[in-house]
Amino acid sequence: MKRFLVLLIMAVFLSGCADPKIDTSTEDSQKKSIEKVRNALSEQKRTEFDDAMKIIVFSKVNLFNPKESEYTMKNAITSLNGKNGNEVIAEGKRIKEEQTEKEKERAAKEREGVLKAIKDLESKKALAESAKAELAKFKIVSARFYKRDHKDYMGRIVGKEPVIELKVKNETSYPVSWAHFDGALNSPGRSVPWVKESFMYHIRGGLEKGEESTWTLLPEQYGIWGTTKIPDDAILTVKTVKLDGSDDKVLFDSKGFTESEEESLKTKKMELAKIDALLQGAKK
């Protein structure tokens, strides 16, 4: 009998000392039991408990479906039924570790895509830089712009027509059928060019390696070259920007890498740095 009383007293004592647990049977018991569980913890543990509750509840949030979120958040709290403070903290840590692992996997996949984009852009940029070096071998020996009398079918002078006169030399290793240029007309001391325009020339019979030729190009009389009031002191500068080979396919193109692609490359590199920092932080 005495032994039974001792065991009974011990059971009551132990039950009184047991950690309180969350009861989600009703809304009122849920609120009171969560507060009771929290108050039974040390100050440090309370902070961990609060963080764990946030993680557990908000891990079920779907920003695109508020109604679903409300339902799943209630279920998340219900899943804590019968758990004490330490068990809630442990569940929060488990979910956080799971989220971190998923975030690492997502970042690693994203990194692969960003890295591929960077490599593709850098490869394209390298080709464009290489093309510029080759295009420099297609020499503009001299460039001249002037206007001459324009005659009608009866030989009468009816105005002026623009003329671009170019002397070039092909020092590339390839025959060229089409040459594409950027041209600009500037006056000394003037920052804005009178004309800045691209143009091209079809080389009949092509221009072989080492050959030199002089061309007379006639821009549209009523276009920018013909209608702009260009003074006599204007100087023509011409740069080769693209060459097509004997099969009319592109040999070299300096504009193969645009300003927007350069900006995209910078952005992708910044994205990669952020992802690497995230992955590095996740390892610690």
User: Is the separation of the CB atoms in 80 and 55 below 8 Å?
Assistant: no
d(CA 33, CA 164): 90
pLDDT in the model for residue 11: 43
pLDDT tens-digit map of 165-216? 999 999 999 999 999 999 999 999 899 999 999 999 999 999 999 999 999 9
Count of alpha carbons within 13 Å of 29, Cβ hemisphere only?
11
Q: Which residues contact 253 (CB under 8 A, 6 or more apart)?
A: 128, 131, 241, 242
Structure tokens at 133: 């070096």
pLDDT tens-digit map of 123-148? 999 988 889 999 999 999 999 999 99
pLDDT tens-digit map of 228-248? 899 989 999 999 999 999 999
pLDDT in the model for residue 105: 87
Question: Residue 197 pairs with which residues in a beta bridge?
Answer: 183
pLDDT in the model for residue 7: 43
Rg over alpha carbons for the chain, rounded to the nearest Å, is 39
User: Is the separation of the CB atoms in 83 and 18 below 8 Å?
Assistant: no
Spans of all domains in the chain = 134-260
Beta strands per DSSP E along the chain = 138-151, 157-170, 176-186, 195-207, 212-217, 235-244, 250-253
Helix axis angle for 85-135 and 43-58, nearest 10°, is 60
Question: What average pLDDT does range 77-84 have in this prediction?
Answer: 89
Structure tokens at 162: 């623009």
pLDDT tens-digit map of 3-34? 544 444 444 344 445 689 999 888 889 999 99
CATH class held by domain 134-260? mainly beta
pLDDT in the model for residue 75: 82
| pTM as predicted | 0.56
